[in-house]
Amino acid sequence: MPDELRTRYGIAEWYGHDFTSLGATQRVVFAKHALGESDAESPVCPFQPNHPPCSKKGGVCSIQQSEVRRPDWRSSSAKRLMPQLEIKAPTLRRWGAKLAVAVDRPFFNAVGGTSDQPSHDLNEGDIIWLVTHLERAAPGTWRLARDHWEVLTLEDSNKRLQAAETVSRENFETALRSRLRPL
């Protein structure tokens, strides 16, 4: 995904409530109403006189625009994944076992992608990298599909994670300036 943000839309108010303030239980209750899976009375509309049952399809009062930032592979892989590999891989190596790491294609590409000569020999490394992608299974449904796999040593894996793509300072500052409002 490029450095720029992508625009997305989501629920702002659901059945008259700010979506971000709803707890998980309340979201489940509202979802059951929206899907017609609830026998309970429909939530009332707090904006109408006498508070009649909500008449909006799915209970959506308003939507909001948000921007989705590209994932920060460099930070998350070095801070979270690499320590796990450094702790677990040597132990499993002593036990004669391998560590499998499942990632999606964008992450794998950001940390170097497919090796020039990928190894499928389990004796040549410590970590089996399993790369997946989503593919459409039927209208409205997706399934996780196998994409690629290869075996790397712990050392090669660490080099890749440390060399993950970073955002250039210029791109970072340009994006930041575009979001700052003049005082």
State mean pLDDT over 63-91: 77
Structure tokens at 115: 């090796």
Domain ranges within the chain, ordered by starting residue: 6-68, 73-175
CA distance 27 to 38: 13
- What confidence tier does 19 reach under pLDDT thresholds 50, 70, 90? confident
Backbone torsions φ then ψ of 15, nearest 5 degrees = 50, 40
Q: What percentage of the chain carries pLDDT values higher than 70? A: 85
> Which residues partner with 6 through β-bridges?
68
pLDDT, one tens digit per residue, over 135-148 is 888 887 888 899 99
Residue 130 has pLDDT above 80, yes or no: yes
Round the average pLDDT of the chain to a whole number and report it.
Answer: 83
CA distance 85 to 47: 53
pTM, full prediction: 0.55
State mean pLDDT over 5-17: 75
